[in-house]
Chains A and B, each alone.
Chain A
Amino acid sequence: MSQTQMQSQSQAEAPRVFTETETPMVELRQVSRRFAKKLDIAAKLARRLGADVREEIVHAVDHVDLRVRKGEVVGLVGESGCGKSTLGRIVAGILPQSEGQVLWNGQDVSTMQGEAAKIGKLRRQMIFQDPYASLNPRMRVADIVGEAPLVHGLTTRANFDTYVDEQMRRAGLDPAFKRRYPHQFSGGQRQRIGIARALAVAPEFIVCDEAVAALDVSIQAQILNLFMKLRRDLDLTYLFISHDLGVVEHLSDRVVIMYLGRVVEEAPTERVFSGANHPYTQSLLASVPRIGNRKRAFATVKGEIPSPLNPPPGCHFHPRCPHAFDRCRVEVPKLREIAPGQRSACHLNDAA
């Protein structure tokens, strides 16, 4: 837990050094995203009859700061509904934020115009969890992969076939299958189609949203190896969203942990797994089943995950936190630096 331990670990293992001062490739400043949960018929009727029913607001993402530097792999973890996908879609530029700023190479994307805006968006691509739902079932693989590059002038009609072949080969697919439709492929192959499609527009930054969650372990290993190879070959930067801490530990340089719309902790990967600060991170790590465990008593975090429609006041984690005290119930803890590169949002850090 000491600082020296942390430094020696990050020096021993991190293959790259990222300085705090360089301009991040992607930066979010106090980004929030709200969704209005529409009233159903029963609620509308009740309101017409005079009941005090209001449209409920979900704070899917609540004042999040995030920096991803060029060449880095940042893991984003948290439980279902905590806002990972929403944050990922904002970062990828396919969902507008309600508040806050998104910067691409230091420039606010809302100020980018015309060609620059278009290219900025193409450079950020997203790969989804369900490779089937995200592929048009009526399109052949060649068109799924080659359509966007053609539209954006990355290839021509004349070179289309060679271009598609190259993209497929890079994702580990046999180009001989390019006339086929998505349903004619296995889950792992479909995920490769999604990867080929994303890479075909020459992105620099990839958001992977649970990209291996639906795959069996042996296929998962093949796809994760492909991600790591592509990172080296193409100098890619990743935001890697996953609920699987083993996967995140294996390939991330840094890990960001979310709970109910907020970032609660952020640190270099070794640090998270050896010296997590936030009580939620600690509980999460204790709950993860590990293949090395034998007939052990499962560590348990008490209580349910609260509804994001009605999150607890103060620190969102307080009803489940073993260390909660009065202040936690009223005051939102700020995310602040507690060690070099490690930030945590917990009032316990003020006591020391």
Chain B
Amino acid sequence: MAETTTAATAAAPTLEVRNLQTHFFTRAGVVRAVDDVSFTIGRGKVLGLVGESGSGKTVTGFSIMKLVDPPGRIVGGSILFQGKDLATRSEEEMRNLRGNRIAMIFQDPMMTLNPVLRIDTQMIETVQAHEKVSEADARARARDALGMVGIPSPDERLKSYPHQFSGGMRQRVAIAIALLHRPDLIVADEPTTALDVTIQGQILAEVQKLCATTGTAMLWITHDLSVVAGLADDIAVMYAGRVVEFGDVGEVLDKPLHPYTHGLIGSVPSRNKRGEPLRQIPGMTPSLLNLPEGCSFRARCPRAAADCIVMPELHPWLPQRLARCHHPHLEEVAAA
């Protein structure tokens, strides 16, 4: 049963990832999918992890769950969950944590749901997998969880099969399952990307309420800066396998330090004058199989200089604001 939140660990942040490295040892070479990822999520806080496709967001999420399959392997760094390194946990202990203290929500809810089982069967099984409770109590928990994610008439809905739900409803059920044990941490990988905006809005509102009321910490993975703007407390920006910027979501979006974050935000249509050409980042993301020497953003960066041939560290340029860059946009922060 839930035993992890002891007085000794209560002060530690829910999740602290330090210099995480996860590589895939493929025949074509070593894919450095995650090559230096660090961030912290406090209790009840939402961290938005953003970056373009292939930047390593999903692999980061899977690494935290310790669900990376060969040829992939965590090769460096540490993942501290409530102060304790997950690397020291046995597979048995991990199985206990997963679905109980740490839950994952996937982009495709059918990764969570079993198509041939009724919703109540699945939810009751999930509850009883980690706790000794009666079926009636488990059912009551399932009903409450469905109510919490805004599913109307949960008693009736419990008797349905997944295919009887719309995409948005299915995703809500998957979120409800993730909530069953009131986990301390939820890793959510693009859970609303495939949904329509009105349905996405409903789910985001529920998620926000939930973290605030239950103290659950959330890692929200997305490529959509606008979703993160409204949902998250902090933001971590990834580029080519590394976190390049970390900080308070408002500060980072208003005054980005890293040239990549700067370019990314600048290219969002609403940050441009109507009808005028959008500001764009030239070039393309480099291949993770052979990254350039030094800063990976060098070939596309308008501020690149000779010293960028040396890979920068994620440095605290300002209080609570980190950037992996030799020449961050400090002048714009000062001007504010």
Whether A289 pairs with B230 at a CB distance below 8 angstroms is yes
Min CB–CB distance B247 → chain A (angstroms): 14
A247 sits at the interface (CB 8 A): yes
Residues of chain A lying within 8 A (CB to CB) of residue B277: 225, 228-229
Known contacts A225-B280, A287-B201; 14 additional CB pairs below 8 A are A79-B198, A186-B284, A188-B284, A221-B267, A221-B281, A224-B278, A247-B269, A284-B198, A287-B200, A292-B270, A298-B202, A301-B202, A302-B202, A304-B168
Whether A305 pairs with B198 at a CB distance below 8 angstroms is yes
A-contact bits for B133-173, CB 8 A (1 contact / 0 none): 00000000000000000000000000000000010110000
Which chain B residues in 261-308 approach chain A with CB under 8 Å? 263-265, 267-272, 274-275, 277-281, 284
User: Number of residues in A with C-beta < 8 Å to the partner?
Assistant: 47
Residues of chain A lying within 8 A (CB to CB) of residue B227: 289
Whether A221 pairs with B202 at a CB distance below 8 angstroms is no
Residues of chain B lying within 8 A (CB to CB) of residue A302: 202
Residues of chain A lying within 8 A (CB to CB) of residue B229: 289-294
Residues of chain A lying within 8 A (CB to CB) of residue B198: 79, 283-284, 287, 300-301, 305
Query: Considering the chains assembled together, what is the distance between the CA atoms of A8 and B233 in angstroms?
Result: 39
B77 sits at the interface (CB 8 A): no
Residues of chain B lying within 8 A (CB to CB) of residue A187: 53
Whether B230 pairs with A298 at a CB distance below 8 angstroms is yes
Which chain A residues in 285-334 approach chain B with CB under 8 Å? 286-302, 304-305
Which chain A residues in 230-270 approach chain B with CB under 8 Å? 243, 245-247, 249-251, 269
A-contact bits for B173-217, CB 8 A (1 contact / 0 none): 000000000000000000000001111111011001000000000
Contact A216 to B223, CB < 8 A, known contacts A294-B249, A304-B169 = yes
Min CB–CB distance A59 → chain B (angstroms): 19
Whether A290 pairs with B267 at a CB distance below 8 angstroms is no
B127 sits at the interface (CB 8 A): no
Whether A243 pairs with B267 at a CB distance below 8 angstroms is no
A350 sits at the interface (CB 8 A): no
B253 sits at the interface (CB 8 A): yes
Min CB–CB distance A197 → chain B (angstroms): 21
Residues of chain A lying within 8 A (CB to CB) of residue B226: 246, 288-291, 293
Whether A289 pairs with B270 at a CB distance below 8 angstroms is no
A19 sits at the interface (CB 8 A): no
Residues of chain A lying within 8 A (CB to CB) of residue B196: 79-80, 243, 305
Query: Considering the chains assembled together, what is the distance between the CA atoms of A201 and B168 in angstroms?
Result: 40
Query: Considering the chains assembled together, what is the distance between the CA atoms of A295 and B45 in angstroms?
Result: 11
Task: Give the contacting residue for B201; candidates A80, A186, A298; CB below 8 A.
Answer: A298
Query: Considering the chains assembled together, what is the distance between the CA atoms of A346 and B158 in angstroms?
Result: 36
List chain B positions with a Cβ less than 8 A from chain A: 52-53, 166, 168-169, 196-202, 204-205, 208, 223-227, 229-231, 233, 249-250, 253, 263-265, 267-272, 274-275, 277-281, 284
Query: Considering the chains assembled together, what is the distance between the CA atoms of A85 and B211 in angstroms?
Result: 38
Contact A246 to B268, CB < 8 A, known contacts A218-B52, A225-B278, A284-B197 = yes
Q: List 11 A-B contacts (CB under 8 A).
A: A217-B223, A218-B264, A221-B279, A224-B278, A250-B270, A251-B275, A291-B265, A294-B249, A300-B202, A302-B202, A304-B168
Q: Which residue on B lies nearest to A288, using beta carbons?
A: B197
Instruction: List 5 tightest A-B contacts by C-beta distance, closest first.
Output: A221-B267, A287-B201, A250-B269, A289-B226, A216-B52
Min CB–CB distance B265 → chain A (angstroms): 7
Whether B269 pairs with A297 at a CB distance below 8 angstroms is no
Whether B230 pairs with A296 at a CB distance below 8 angstroms is yes
A153 sits at the interface (CB 8 A): no
Q: Which residue on A lies nearest to B53, using beta carbons?
A: A216
Q: Which residue on A lies nearest to B260, using beta carbons?
A: A218
Residues of chain A lying within 8 A (CB to CB) of residue B201: 286-287, 289, 298-301
Query: Considering the chains assembled together, what is the distance between the CA atoms of A302 and B151 in angstroms?
Result: 11
Whether B230 pairs with A249 at a CB distance below 8 angstroms is no
Task: Give the contacting residue for A250; candidates B53, B208, B265, B278; CB below 8 A.
Answer: B278
A23 sits at the interface (CB 8 A): no
Residues of chain A lying within 8 A (CB to CB) of residue B233: 295
Min CB–CB distance A302 → chain B (angstroms): 8
Q: Which residue on A lies nearest to B279, using beta carbons?
A: A221
Contact A287 to B197, CB < 8 A, known contacts A216-B223, A218-B280, A298-B204 = yes
Whether A305 pairs with B284 at a CB distance below 8 angstroms is no
Residues of chain B lying within 8 A (CB to CB) of residue A297: 205, 208
B-contact bits for A195-207, CB 8 A (1 contact / 0 none): 0000000000000
Task: Give the contacting residue for B224; candidates A79, A245, A289, A292; CB below 8 A.
Answer: A289
A222 sits at the interface (CB 8 A): yes
Query: Considering the chains assembled together, what is the distance between the CA atoms of A225 and B281 in angstroms?
Result: 12
Whether A298 pairs with B271 at a CB distance below 8 angstroms is no
Residues of chain B lying within 8 A (CB to CB) of residue A247: 269
Residues of chain B lying within 8 A (CB to CB) of residue A301: 198, 201-202
Residues of chain A lying within 8 A (CB to CB) of residue B270: 246, 249-250, 290-292
Q: Which residue on B lies nearest to A294, using beta carbons?
A: B250
Q: Which residue on B lies nearest to A222, using beta carbons?
A: B280
A15 sits at the interface (CB 8 A): yes
Query: Considering the chains assembled together, what is the distance between the CA atoms of A188 and B267 in angstroms?
Result: 15
A220 sits at the interface (CB 8 A): yes
Query: Considering the chains assembled together, what is the distance between the CA atoms of A44 and B233 in angstroms?
Result: 53
Min CB–CB distance A172 → chain B (angstroms): 11
Min CB–CB distance B153 → chain A (angstroms): 13
Residues of chain A lying within 8 A (CB to CB) of residue B253: 291
Whether B230 pairs with A294 at a CB distance below 8 angstroms is yes
Whether B205 pairs with A300 at a CB distance below 8 angstroms is yes
Q: Which residue on A lies nearest to B197, using beta carbons?
A: A287
Task: Give the contacting residue for B197; candidates A15, A228, A243, A291; CB below 8 A.
Answer: A243
Residue of B197, B249, B253, B271 with highest tally of chain A CB at under 10 A = B197
Residues of chain B lying within 8 A (CB to CB) of residue A80: 196
Whether B205 pairs with A218 at a CB distance below 8 angstroms is no
Residues of chain A lying within 8 A (CB to CB) of residue B279: 221
Min CB–CB distance B80 → chain A (angstroms): 26
Min CB–CB distance B183 → chain A (angstroms): 22
Contact A218 to B281, CB < 8 A, known contacts A249-B269, A288-B197, A291-B265 = yes
Query: Considering the chains assembled together, what is the distance between the CA atoms of A200 and B29 in angstroms?
Result: 39
Query: Considering the chains assembled together, what is the distance between the CA atoms of A246 and B270 in angstroms?
Result: 6
